[in-house]
Amino acid sequence: MTSHQNTQTMKPATAAKKLGVYLEATPADFREGAVSRAELNELQANPPQWLQELRRNGPHPRPVVAAKLGVSIAGLARAGVTEPLTTEQIEALKKEGPEWLERERATQAEVRKEAERIKKKNAESQT
């Protein structure tokens, strides 16, 4: 009995998320077809020019914007930042240092600190 291996594919939105790029900014041929696991691996290993450009300059999806600003996705939403931003726009926000950004960064720092405290507490209780 021989086994036949089917090619695993994913929707373009899933592939874009895994690549960390904004789907609407990708080329039409990427958005219109399914992406196989092998194609995704190839894109990650040897990114074409369009992918390098998107990763460098954007527009970036919310998770990437949040990470670059050091805030949570919810923090972006609270600040009313719902659209994808370019690297240039992100850098401008960092330079401006609006009050909401400083507040959200402080909130994010507290969340990380609390998560670390809980992790340490759990590790101590297991020993």
DSSP secondary structure string, 53-98? HHHHH-PBPHHHHHHHHTS-HHHHHHTT--S-B-HHHHHHHHHH--
Kindly state the average pLDDT of the residues 90-117.
Answer: 90
**pLDDT number for residue 88:** 94
**Burial degree of 106 (CB within 10 A; 0-12, 13-18, 19+):** exposed
Q: Is the pLDDT of residue 6 over 80?
A: no
DSSP lists the bridge partners of residue 60 as 85
* Confidence band, pLDDT 50/70/90 cuts, at residue 35: confident
Q: Mean of the per-residue pLDDT values for the chain?
A: 88
Greater model confidence, 37 or 7: 37
Contact, 79 vs 104, CB < 8 A? yes
For residue 57, give every residue at least 6 positions away whose Cβ sits within 8 Å of its Cβ, in sequence order, or none: 86, 87, 88
DSSP lists the bridge partners of residue 9 as 36
Is residue 84 reached through a cis peptide bond, with omega within 30 degrees of 0 on the bond before it? no
The Cα–Cα gap between 101 and 109 comes to 12
> Mind listing the pLDDT tens digit for each residue in 46-90?
999 999 999 999 899 999 999 999 999 998 999 888 899 999 999
Q: Is the pLDDT of residue 2 over 80?
A: no
**pLDDT number for residue 5:** 55
* Confidence band, pLDDT 50/70/90 cuts, at residue 1: very low
Q: What tokens appear for 53 in the block?
A: 């450009």
Report the percent of the chain where pLDDT is more than 90.
32
DSSP lists the bridge partners of residue 85 as 60
